[in-house]
Amino acid sequence: MNLHDLEAFVAVVETGSVVGASGRLNLTQPGVSRRIQNLEEALGTPLLDRLSKPLKPSGAGRDAYEHARRVLRSLEDLKSGLAPNGEITGEFRLGILPYLSDAALAVPLDRLRKEFPRLTLRITSGWSPRLLEQVVRSELDAAALCLPDGERPPEELTGDDLGEQAVLLIAAPGLGVPKPASLADLSAFPWVLNENGCGFRGFIRRSFEAAHLPFQVGVEALSADLRMSLVARGHGIGIVTPAALTGSPWRDAVEILDTDFRPQVRAWVFHRPPAGRLQRPISLFGETLFTSLHGAGPFLKA
């Protein structure tokens, strides 16, 4: 058994295939397969369920994967600890939900670059379910995302709760939404929303389903500016943060709806334990993002 065999096994588990591990490690596929076989022979047990697609670890393989991750992370920590001046080096793979990107890509990243100048940041944008999956599979070191209130993440992750994230419901005055508007009133109109995977969209859909009311998405678009312009032109009801509405050139063309229905999700920063050398960068990012979202106040780690 050697470290190269462990690296190959971890790569196969995290990418779900020999092909993916081959690309990550810059090895041939037969080379990756040989390393997995070497490890299985050394441990005396199959580590992969070769009938599953994507490839998944066997029962013994799941235990071996957790041990291998800790060994490899310890080596990264050792290298980092021996770096000049004890600086943290290497990569920090960070996923960020688009909704949080305005807050996360400003002060938090500036602080990370200032405090850890030798740490290379790899930023990925995506929806919460995909980001969670990538953290679970160790494709990302941490992710900032939103979950509906009350929804818990996978047990294998550690999370810092960044608090509730409320939004405003808006529409063009000419759309004719009643004042005040009940949930049943809102169900009569189309919505202009993010693509599937957005936490707010999921919360709204489930709220209508729980009330046995129709839910119609008129337009879905990734760009926040495009969504605002579509709402302003009367294509449906939209959701927006107070800060985004204040800074939008369309703010005078829409109105805030008078309704008791207030979609809310919670923002989180998740990572797999142990964080090792990345504990300080992850903590700094979470604390600074909390401040960007809420201003000065107590940051309570979950």
**Residue 182 within any structural domain of the chain:** yes
Strand 119-125 relative to strand 90-96, pairing:
parallel
Percentage of the chain exceeding pLDDT 70: 93
DSSP SS3 for 287: helix
DSSP for 21-82 reads: HHHHHT--HHHHHHHHHHHHHHHTS--EETTSSS-EE-HHHHHHHHHHHHHHHHHHHHHHHT
Q: Give residue 148's pLDDT.
A: 79
Tens digits of residue pLDDT in 134-152: 898 888 999 999 887 777 7
Q: Is the pLDDT of residue 302 over 70?
A: no
Q: Which of these three, 47, 81, 115, is where a domain ends?
A: 81
Q: Give residue 114's pLDDT.
A: 93
* pLDDT, the chain, mean: 87
Q: Tell me, yes or no, whether 277 and 214 share the same domain.
A: no
Q: Give residue 270's pLDDT.
A: 96
Per mean pLDDT, which of 81-85, 97-101, 246-250 is the most reliable? 246-250
Q: Which domain holds residue 91?
A: 84-165+265-294
Structural domains of the chain, count? 3
d(CA 138, CA 155): 14
**Residue 302 within any structural domain of the chain:** no
Q: Tell me, yes or no, whether 244 and 172 share the same domain.
A: yes
Q: Give residue 143's pLDDT.
A: 96
d(CA 78, CA 72): 10
**Residue 138 within any structural domain of the chain:** yes
Q: Give residue 111's pLDDT.
A: 93
Q: Tell me, yes or no, whether 154 and 284 share the same domain.
A: yes
Encoding tokens for residue 38?
A: 């070497």
Q: Tell me, yes or no, whether 133 and 276 share the same domain.
A: yes
Tens digits of residue pLDDT in 46-96: 999 888 888 889 989 888 988 887 787 777 766 655 554 567 888 899 999
Q: Per-residue pLDDT averaged across 246-266, rounded? A: 90
Percentage of the chain exceeding pLDDT 90: 49
Q: Tell me, yes or no, whether 49 and 101 share the same domain.
A: no
DSSP SS3 for 187: coil
Q: Give residue 98's pLDDT.
A: 82
Q: Tell me, yes or no, whether 161 and 173 share the same domain.
A: no
User: 194, 205, 186: which is closest to 258 by C-alpha?
Assistant: 186
**Residue 91 within any structural domain of the chain:** yes
Q: Tell me, yes or no, whether 136 and 197 share the same domain.
A: no
Q: Tell me, yes or no, whether 161 and 210 share the same domain.
A: no
How far out from the chain centre does Cα 160 lie?
Answer: 13
Q: Per-residue pLDDT averaged across 31-36, rounded? A: 93
Burial annotation 134-154 (CB, 10 A radius, 16+ → b, else e)? bbbebbbbbbbbbbbeeeebe
Tens digits of residue pLDDT in 279-300: 999 999 999 999 988 865 555 5
**Residue 137 within any structural domain of the chain:** yes
Q: Which residues contact 277 (CB under 8 A, 6 or more apart)?
A: 73, 76, 77, 80, 81, 88, 90
Q: Tell me, yes or no, whether 136 and 61 share the same domain.
A: no
Q: Give residue 53's pLDDT.
A: 83
What long-range pairs does 284-288 form, CB within 8 A, spacing at least 24?
284/108, 284/111, 284/112, 284/115, 285/94, 285/104, 285/108, 285/109, 285/111, 285/112, 285/142, 285/144, 286/144, 286/160, 286/162, 288/107, 288/108, 288/111, 288/112
Q: Tell me, yes or no, whether 289 and 158 share the same domain.
A: yes
Q: Give residue 116's pLDDT.
A: 92
CATH number, domain with residue 102: 3.40.190.10
Q: Per-residue pLDDT averaged across 160-167, rounded? A: 86
Q: Which of these three, 81, 114, 137, is where a domain ends?
A: 81
Dihedral of CA atoms 289, 81, 92, 54 in degrees, nearest 10, equals -130
Q: Is the pLDDT of residue 235 over 60?
A: yes
**Residue 299 within any structural domain of the chain:** no
Q: Tell me, yes or no, whether 141 and 290 share the same domain.
A: yes
Half-sphere exposure (Cβ direction) of 92: Cα atoms closer than 13 Å: 28
Tens digits of residue pLDDT in 108-141: 999 999 999 988 898 998 888 889 988 988 889 9
**Rounded (5°) CA angle 243-245-248:** 110
pLDDT greater at residue 149 or residue 35: 35
Q: Which of these three, 81, 100, 124, is where a domain ends?
A: 81
Q: Tell me, yes or no, whether 155 and 173 share the same domain.
A: no
**Residue 217 within any structural domain of the chain:** yes
Span between the terminal Cα atoms of the chain, in Å: 38
